[in-house]
Structure 1
Amino acid sequence: MNDDESAFSSAVDKEMTALIATLHEAGRRLEELTGGEVDAVLGPDGTPFLLQHAQEKLRLHEVARQAAILNALPAHVVMVDNQGSIVSFNRGWQKFAQSNGLSTELTGINYLDACGDGGEVAEGILSVLAGDSSSFAIEYPCHSPTQQRWFLMTVTPLTHSASTGAVIMHLDITDRVQAEVEMKSLNRVYAMLSQINALVVRVKNLDELFAVACQVAADAGDFRMSAIVMVDPKTKQMTSIVSAGKDEKLLTDIKKLLASPEGMKKSIVSTVIEKGKPAISNNVKIDTRFVFGDQYADAGVNSAVVLPLLISGEAVGVFALYAREIDFFQKDEIKLLVGLATDVAFAINNIEKQKRLNFLAYYDELTGLANRNLFLERLSAYMYKANSEGHQLAIGLIDLDRFKNINDSFGRLTGDALLKKAAEWLKDRFLDTTYLGRIEADCFAIILPLVKSEGHLESLIENTMSAFLAHAFEVNSNVFRISVKSGIALFPDDGTDAVSLLKNAEAAMKIAKKSGVNYLFHTQSMTATTADRLALELRLREAFDKDEFTLYYQPKVNIASGKMVGAEALIRWNDPHIGLIQPDTFIPILEEIGLINEVGRWVIKQAIKDYLSWREAGLNAVRIAVNVSSLQLRNRNFADDIEQAIASDPRVAAGLEIEVTESVIMGDVEQSVEILQAIRDLGIPITIDDFGTGFSSLSYLSRLPLDILKIDGAFVREMHTEKGGKMVSTIILVAHALKLKVVAECVETEEQLLQLRKLDCDQMQGYLFSKPVPADVFEKQFLSLS
Structure 2
Amino acid sequence: MPQGKDAKTILVVDDEPQVLAAMEDLLEDDFRVLLQTSPKAALKLLEHESDLSAIISDQRMPGLSGHEFLGIASRLSDAPRILFTGYSDLDAVVAAVNKGQIFGYITKPWDPKELRRVVNKAVAYCQLHRALLEEQRLLHHLMDSVPDSIFFKDRSHRFQRVNRAAARDLGLESPVACLGKRVGDFLDPALAETIEAQERMVLQTGRPVVDLVGRLGDRWVSATVAPVVDEKGQGTGLVGIARDVTDRLRLEERIARLTRAQAVLSGINGLIVRVHDQHQLFADACRIATGQGQFHQAWIGLVEEGRVVPVAADGVSLAALSPMPVDSAPGRAEHPLDTIVASALRDQVPVAAVECVEGMTTLVLPLVMDRTAVGIMALSAMETDRFDAQEVALLREMAGNISFALDHLHKALRLDYLALYDGLTGLANRSLFADRLAQHVARAQAKRRLMALILVDVERFRSINDSLGLDIGDEVLREVARRLSAAAPLTDTLGRVGADCFGMLVPEVKGAGDVAHLVRERILPCFDTLIQAGGEQLRLSARVGAALFPDDAEDGESLFAHAEIALKKAKDTRERLLFYATGMNKRLAQALRRETQLRTALENGQYVLHYQPKIDLRDGRVTGLEALIRWNEPGCGIVGPAEFIPLVEELGLIHDMGDWVMSQAVTDFQCWRAQGLKPPRIAVNVSALQLARDDFVDGMRGRLDRDEAARACLDLEITESVLMRDIQACIPKIAALREMGVQVYIDDFGTGYSSLAYIARLPLTALKIDRAFVSSIDASSEDTTIVSTIIQLAHSLGLKVVAEGVETADQAKLLRLLRCDEMQGYLISRPVPAVEIEAMLAAPKLI
Q: Normalization by structure 1: what TM-score?
A: 0.51
Matching residue's letter, 1:110? K
2:472 aligned residue (414, 417, 434): 414
TM-superposition CA deviations, 1:14-62 (whole Å, max 9, x none)? xxxx99x989999763995995576589997996863888677656544
Tell whether the 8 Å contact from 2:477 to 2:500 is kept in structure 1 after alignment.
yes
Following superposition of structure 1 onto structure 2, how do residues 139-154 of structure 1 map, counting pairs within 5 Å?
A: 139-144=212-217, 147-154=218-225
Q: Tell me, yes or no, if structure 1 residue 226 matches structure 2 residue 298.
A: yes
Tell whether the 8 Å contact from 2:350 to 2:364 is kept in structure 1 after alignment.
yes
Following superposition of structure 1 onto structure 2, how do residues 444-483 of structure 1 map, counting pairs within 5 Å?
A: 444-447=502-505, 467-475=525-533, 477-483=535-541
Mark the CA change 1:90 to 1:508 in structure 2 (over 3 Å): closer, same or farther. same
**Number of the residue aligned with 2:352:** 280
CA drift at 1:376? 1.5
CA drift at 1:237? 0.8
1:106 aligned residue (173, 177, 202): 177
Tell whether the 8 Å contact from 2:310 to 2:323 is kept in structure 1 after alignment.
no
Tell whether the 8 Å contact from 2:326 to 2:341 is kept in structure 1 after alignment.
no
1:404 aligned residue (443, 450, 462): 462
Tell whether the 8 Å contact from 1:97 to 1:104 is kept in structure 2 after alignment.
no
* Larger CA deviation: 89-98 vs 319-328: 89-98
Q: Tell me, yes or no, if structure 1 residue 237 matches structure 2 residue 307.
A: yes
**Number of the residue aligned with 1:50:** 123
Mark the CA change 1:520 to 1:492 in structure 2 (over 3 Å): closer, same or farther. same
Tell whether the 8 Å contact from 1:400 to 1:443 is kept in structure 2 after alignment.
yes
Matching residue's letter, 1:296? E
Tell whether the 8 Å contact from 2:457 to 2:544 is kept in structure 1 after alignment.
yes
Q: State the SS of the aligned residue for 1:267.
A: helix
Q: d(CA) in 1 for partners of 2:173 and 2:319?
A: 44
Q: d(CA) in 2 for partners of 1:411 and 1:481?
A: 16
Mark the CA change 1:124 to 1:473 in structure 2 (over 3 Å): closer, same or farther. closer
Q: d(CA) in 2 for partners of 1:29 and 1:132?
A: 59
Q: d(CA) in 2 for partners of 1:64 and 1:112?
A: 25
Matching residue's letter, 2:163? N
Count of aligned residue pairs for this structure pair: 482
Matching residue's letter, 2:123? L
Q: Tell me, yes or no, if structure 1 residue 75 matches structure 2 residue 112.
A: no
* Structure 1 unaligned spans of 5+: 1-17, 285-289, 525-786
Q: d(CA) in 1 for partners of 2:160 and 2:195?
A: 19
CA drift at 1:450? 6.5
Mark the CA change 1:28 to 1:167 in structure 2 (over 3 Å): closer, same or farther. farther
**Number of the residue aligned with 1:716:** none
**Number of the residue aligned with 2:196:** 122
Q: d(CA) in 2 for partners of 1:52 and 1:459?
A: 129
Q: d(CA) in 1 for partners of 2:563 and 2:438?
A: 15
1:340 aligned residue (395, 398, 410): 398
Mark the CA change 1:225 to 1:468 in structure 2 (over 3 Å): closer, same or farther. closer
Q: d(CA) in 2 for partners of 1:520 and 1:28?
A: 147
Q: State the SS of the aligned residue for 1:319.
A: strand
Matching residue's letter, 2:196? A
Mark the CA change 1:122 to 1:340 in structure 2 (over 3 Å): closer, same or farther. same
Tell whether the 8 Å contact from 2:164 to 2:174 is kept in structure 1 after alignment.
no
Matching residue's letter, 1:29? L
Q: d(CA) in 2 for partners of 1:422 and 1:296?
A: 56
Mark the CA change 1:313 to 1:153 in structure 2 (over 3 Å): closer, same or farther. farther
Matching residue's letter, 2:195? V
Mark the CA change 1:236 to 1:153 in structure 2 (over 3 Å): closer, same or farther. farther
Q: d(CA) in 2 for partners of 1:404 and 1:504?
A: 24
Tell whether the 8 Å contact from 2:222 to 2:245 is kept in structure 1 after alignment.
yes
Following superposition of structure 1 onto structure 2, how do residues 246-645 of structure 1 map, counting pairs within 5 Å?
A: 254-255=321-322, 263=334, 266-281=338-353, 284=354, 290=355, 293=356, 295-297=357-359, 301=360, 303-384=361-442, 394-447=452-505, 467-475=525-533, 477-489=535-547, 495-506=553-564, 509=567
**Number of the residue aligned with 1:29:** 35
Structure with larger RCO (C-alpha < 8 A, sep 6+): 1
Mark the CA change 1:353 to 1:39 in structure 2 (over 3 Å): closer, same or farther. same
**Number of the residue aligned with 2:835:** none
1:214 aligned residue (283, 286, 290): 286
Q: Larger radius of gyration, structure 1 or 2?
A: 2
**Number of the residue aligned with 1:763:** none
CA drift at 1:157? 3.8
CA drift at 1:270? 1.6
* Structure 2 unaligned spans of 5+: 1-18, 37-41, 56-112, 583-847
Mark the CA change 1:497 to 1:253 in structure 2 (over 3 Å): closer, same or farther. closer
Mark the CA change 1:390 to 1:305 in structure 2 (over 3 Å): closer, same or farther. closer
Q: d(CA) in 1 for partners of 2:323 and 2:516?
A: 56
Q: d(CA) in 2 for partners of 1:410 and 1:102?
A: 95
Following superposition of structure 1 onto structure 2, how do residues 593-742 of structure 1 map, counting pairs within 5 Å?
A: none
Q: State the SS of the aligned residue for 2:35.
A: helix
Tell whether the 8 Å contact from 1:159 to 1:165 is kept in structure 2 after alignment.
no
Mark the CA change 1:401 to 1:22 in structure 2 (over 3 Å): closer, same or farther. farther
Q: d(CA) in 1 for partners of 2:483 and 2:526?
A: 8
Matching residue's letter, 1:397? L
Q: CA RMSD in A?
A: 4.9
Matching residue's letter, 2:358? Y
Mark the CA change 1:371 to 1:158 in structure 2 (over 3 Å): closer, same or farther. same
Q: d(CA) in 2 for partners of 1:406 and 1:103?
A: 100
**Number of the residue aligned with 1:580:** none
Mark the CA change 1:523 to 1:140 in structure 2 (over 3 Å): closer, same or farther. closer
CA drift at 1:71? 2.4
**Number of the residue aligned with 1:173:** 245
Tell whether the 8 Å contact from 1:436 to 1:447 is kept in structure 2 after alignment.
yes
TM-superposition CA deviations, 1:70-109 (whole Å, max 9, x none)? 22212123445676544554333355456xx888762434
Following superposition of structure 1 onto structure 2, how do residues 127-206 of structure 1 map, counting pairs within 5 Å?
A: 133=206, 135-144=208-217, 147-155=218-226, 157=228, 167-186=239-258, 188-189=260-261, 196-197=268-269, 199-206=271-278
CA drift at 1:424? 2.3
Q: State the SS of the aligned residue for 2:422.
A: coil
Q: d(CA) in 1 for partners of 2:526 and 2:201?
A: 100
Mark the CA change 1:409 to 1:270 in structure 2 (over 3 Å): closer, same or farther. farther
Mark the CA change 1:278 to 1:463 in structure 2 (over 3 Å): closer, same or farther. closer
Mark the CA change 1:448 to 1:166 in structure 2 (over 3 Å): closer, same or farther. closer
**Number of the residue aligned with 2:626:** none
Tell whether the 8 Å contact from 2:451 to 2:548 is kept in structure 1 after alignment.
yes
Matching residue's letter, 1:226? A
TM-superposition CA deviations, 1:707-742 (whole Å, max 9, x none)? xxxxxxxxxxxxxxxxxxxxxxxxxxxxxxxxxxxx
Q: d(CA) in 1 for partners of 2:506 and 2:122?
A: 131
Mark the CA change 1:462 to 1:40 in structure 2 (over 3 Å): closer, same or farther. closer
Mark the CA change 1:517 to 1:174 in structure 2 (over 3 Å): closer, same or farther. same
Tell whether the 8 Å contact from 1:134 to 1:157 is kept in structure 2 after alignment.
no
Q: d(CA) in 1 for partners of 2:550 and 2:340?
A: 64
Tell whether the 8 Å contact from 2:424 to 2:478 is kept in structure 1 after alignment.
yes
CA drift at 1:492? 5.9
Q: d(CA) in 2 for partners of 1:134 and 1:398?
A: 93
Q: d(CA) in 1 for partners of 2:298 and 2:515?
A: 59
